[in-house]
Amino acid sequence: MFKTIVDPTDCEVRPVIRFLNAKEVKPAEIHRQFVEIYGENVVTDGMVRKWVRQFNDGRTNVHDEARSGRPSVVNDGLVAKVNEKIRENRRFTIRMLFDEFPQISKTVLHEIVTNRLNYRKLCSRWVPKMLTDVHKTK
């Protein structure tokens, strides 16, 4: 019996697919061997077939290709500006911030306030999530 390998990464599995495909092993047999060595939670039979097809079409790279995505509008300068507006008026709403920054959606503003700046609502005021002793005495 073979020793099993737990949680293989994609960059471990794909070169093996490429190697066995070069030896003209069928995709179903490649998948069967993967399940035998790596266990049930390895790459699916459909993914093995997809990679075999790509290698047969001439692909040589086993790594994922870079994807283009929507660039993030959140940067440190914007976070600093939002933080400055919050410090001017702690009793703000996301709608009020949206009026100040109309180029940014309310969802992104809420994400900046809650996730990046770590503020939360407390008695209609926005306060830092982690209060220090100085904050508590105020």
Q: How high is the mean pLDDT in each 10-residue block of the chain (138 residues)? A: 76 91 94 88 90 93 81 85 89 88 90 88 70 77
The CATH class given to the 10-57 domain equals mainly alpha
- What pLDDT shows up at residue 136? 76
Burial class of 109 by CB neighbour count within 10 A (0 to 12, 13 to 18, 19+):
buried
- What pLDDT shows up at residue 52? 94
- What pLDDT shows up at residue 122? 67
**Predicted model pTM:** 0.50
- What is the residue extent of each domain of the chain? 10-57, 76-116
Q: How many CB atoms sit inside 10 A of residue 129's CB?
A: 10
- What pLDDT shows up at residue 124? 65
